[in-house]
Structure 1
Amino acid sequence: MSVVLAASQNLPGFGNQPFWISLIKVLGVFVFLVVMTLFSIVFERKVVGRMQNRIGPNRTGPWGVLQSLADGVKLAFKEEIIPVLADKPVYFLAPILSAVPAFLAFSVIPFGPSVSLFGHHTPLQLTDLPVGVLVVFACSSLGVYGVVLSGWASGSTYPLLGGLRSAAQMISYEVAMGLSMVAVFLFSDTMSTSGIVASQRHLWHVIPLFVSFFIYAISVVGETNRAPFDLAEAESELVGGFHTEYSSFKFAMFFLAEYINMVTVSALATTLFLGGWRAPVPISLWHGANHGWWPILWFTAKIVAIIFVFVWLRGTLPRLRYDQFMQLGWKILIPINLVWILAVTAIHVFRDRNWPAWEATVLPLGVVLLLVVIPGVMIWEGARARREADRLDEEDDEAQLPQTFPTPPLNLVVPKSPRELANANVRPAGSLAGGRPKEDIDD
């Protein structure tokens, strides 16, 4: 009921500002995303290089910071090769469908509080809606169309396989990512991004909703096709995946969309769980930390910290098998998320009925522990024991099979060659390897 009431609320500060201020905000969001993309590429190459004991890019610009800009200019001026069998209208449309929703998703992300801009009081946010989080979720979901259409329109087998795998992957993890947001809606009583940030004035949602944050963190890695979940672009299996047949500026648009999506999900995680633009605890003791233009700095620092986790995962974890990846999404993340939503809903209802805080929290969590977690652990251990028994049975069956090809004995002793045996039998006692007596050599 509270969510329905929040959907009909009026959001102050939006809709009554001059048109030119909206244009400035649009330009600011666009520049921020482009700069963050250029930064993320260099940042990723530098961090992975440091993890692998390499230098990383260090030629273009001071300390190599202009390397991503040089790569973008190079891609823009490279020769474009279009496959003969490509469906050209869809082939041209697919990169646009990947890049444009990535930019649109940032339209409802709050960068900071209200500030004075050229004499007008306006919030540091392009716009907001009563269902602002759903707008971000919808825009990020539209990216799958660009991936699927690019694989289909290329007229080749490898991009088609990459597009199909990516469709199944992104849809599967969108379900878990969407469910992880439900607990945030219940806690904050709104789906507005500015309202969610305002509800974290005293306590960030990452503390009470740690399970939702953990599931969201896993889901967005699969949603953005990042390692170890980069199965749609598995270079060792699919030769680059869905964008194998793309080159020049169209390939750059796919590259741009991937990194902007990474920035977008990091900004959404900051908004939903990490207090948004609010300063962390040591800095928040300063009275002016959450006023003026300073919150943009804290917001950007949180995004960079989350991007570092993306890079860290890429530099340390190997790629999962596809069946393991899908089982993680459908059989583990989604059931845990559903049970967690029931527990959070129960806590919310008990608090609305004026129960004491500890009773309203301990009772649902205790029921979840008794009815879900303990049986789940027992089922997991039983499945592990069955897998171990199946493995032993397979080894026994293999041992009982007759040998179909000759195998050397384990205690094999290599016999001496005929020449060694002949030399050992014919050579005189005082002779050398050639068989001549020692006296003849001395003479």
Structure 2
Amino acid sequence: MGADFLLGLIVLVIKCGVVMMVVMTIAAYLVLFERKLLGRIQLRYGPNRVGPYGLLQSLADGVKLLLKEDLIPEGADTILFLIAPGLLTFTTLAVFALVPFGGNIHLFGHTVPLVISDMDIGVLVFLALSSIGVYSVALGGWASNSKFSLIGAVRGVAQMISYELPLSLSLVPVFMMAGSLSLTDIVNAQSSYPFIVVQPVSAAIFFICSLAESKRIPFDIPEGENELQAGFHTEYSGMRFALFFLGEYVNMILFGALMAVFFLGGWRGPLLPGPIWLLIKIAIVPFLLVWTRGTMPRMRYDHLMHFCWKVLMPIALANIVVTGAVMAALG
């Protein structure tokens, strides 16, 4: 019993370390990818001076942010100001513990599942953890003692809480069809076909809400550089400023992974190993998010809320009813 527990603990630590290393590395180079792709879209050069083809730009940016002074505004709530940037990154990384990266592998006579924690209520844990990320925006803006930051925080909280509802409802048909809230079971239920084939409406709603939850254009209302100077993180500098952006890019990867798990068959695919297929499918969402940023303008705030409550919500609810009716008719 003691040996098995120790082995399980070692495997768990290794899994966590590998996932964090891969996710953080991808997030760092996703910034470079975005700057390169936006340069192409906007007919200008992207980063091309630090290392061959600009490949060391992410390292240079990290060093630059580490060397910048970490300022705390006068009158700020120091404790909340210091912890707010890390909340979003922490909760987003925690959700990766639920993502299945492949099937089981056999290692030294033991069966090792390529998932950190396969919970029976994985979907509910994901929704719970993602809702905690709202506090990062709220506390960051409020604790800064700045009116611009506070307005950005209020916008961000309203936006994120609102779009969590259609995002959650878009997943109801998925676990109705899978018969489980476990992410592994949802992937296994797509052995014949990916759910996007029969649930394109749910997939579209989930993608749009992912844009809003990531605070990406056209939903970057909480930042609004031309009206709020940078929104809820106006007063941040150095690595605490970088943590907000790290959380944003990790969030992009997370929603790519969840899009793959819920609608694209997860790690399933021919010829290539499961983790490779998952990475290919994950890459689709960040690419679309960057493409959207380079081509669409920012929405007006009232239009943004109208679109959520009067368009996405009714469609998501109607989709649940139609899915239930079809499943009941088919038996």
Using structure 1 for the length normalisation, give the TM-score: 0.72
**Residue type at the aligned position of 1:179:** L
Aligned to 2:327: 348
Alignment partner of 1:121: what SS?
A: strand
Aligned to 1:32: 22
Partners of 1:106 and 1:136 within 8 A in 2: no
Partners of 1:76 and 1:252 within 8 A in 2: no
Superposed CA RMSD in Å reads 1.3
Shift of residue 17, structure 1, vs aligned partner: 6.2
Partners of 1:102 and 1:140 within 8 A in 2: yes
Of residues 39, 49, 73, the one that matches 1:59 is: 49
Of residues 287, 298, 303, the one that matches 1:308 is: 287
Shift of residue 350, structure 1, vs aligned partner: 2.0
What is the correspondence of 1:130-209 to structure 2 with a 5 Å cutoff? 130-209=120-199
Aligned equivalents of 1:127, 1:211: Cα separation in 2? 29
What is the correspondence of 1:108-119 to structure 2 with a 5 Å cutoff? 108-119=98-109
What is the correspondence of 1:58-97 to structure 2 with a 5 Å cutoff? 58-97=48-87
Structure 2: runs of 5 or more not aligned: none
1:337 aligns with 2:316: yes
Partners of 2:255 and 2:285 within 8 A in 1: no
Aligned equivalents of 1:46, 1:258: Cα separation in 2? 18
Shift of residue 227, structure 1, vs aligned partner: 0.5
Aligned to 2:39: 49
Shift >6 Å, 4+ stretches? none
Shift of residue 141, structure 1, vs aligned partner: 1.4
Partners of 1:140 and 1:261 within 8 A in 2: no
Aligned to 1:128: 118
Shift of residue 120, structure 1, vs aligned partner: 2.7
Alignment partner of 1:278: what SS?
A: coil
Aligned equivalents of 1:169, 1:314: Cα separation in 2? 18
Partners of 2:73 and 2:145 within 8 A in 1: yes
**Residue type at the aligned position of 1:346:** A
1:229 aligns with 2:229: no
Change (3 A) 1:191 1:339: same
User: CA-to-partner distance for each residue in 1:19-49, whole Å, 9 max, x for gaps?
Assistant: 1000000001110110110121011001110
> Which structure's relative contact order is higher, taking Cα pairs within 8 Å and 6+ residues apart?
2
Alignment partner of 1:48: what SS?
A: helix
User: CA-to-partner distance for each residue in 1:108-158, whole Å, 9 max, x for gaps?
Assistant: 001111113354321111111011122122212111101000100000000
Aligned equivalents of 2:110, 2:65: Cα separation in 1? 41
**Residue type at the aligned position of 1:122:** V
Aligned equivalents of 1:254, 1:233: Cα separation in 2? 11
Aligned length: 327
Alignment partner of 2:103: what SS?
A: strand
Aligned to 1:317: 296
**Residue type at the aligned position of 1:328:** F
Aligned to 2:242: 252
**Residue type at the aligned position of 1:259:** Y
Structure 1: runs of 5 or more not aligned: 1-14, 353-443
User: CA-to-partner distance for each residue in 1:234-260, whole Å, 9 max, x for gaps?
Assistant: 101110010000111111111111111
What is the correspondence of 1:211-230 to structure 2 with a 5 Å cutoff? 211-230=201-220
User: CA-to-partner distance for each residue in 1:336-374, whole Å, 9 max, x for gaps?
Assistant: 11011001011122223xxxxxxxxxxxxxxxxxxxxxx
> In percent, how many aligned pairs have the same letter?
44
Partners of 1:17 and 1:122 within 8 A in 2: no
Aligned to 1:436: none
Aligned equivalents of 1:181, 1:218: Cα separation in 2? 13
Alignment partner of 1:127: what SS?
A: coil
Between 1:115-124 and 1:21-30, the stretch displaced more is 115-124
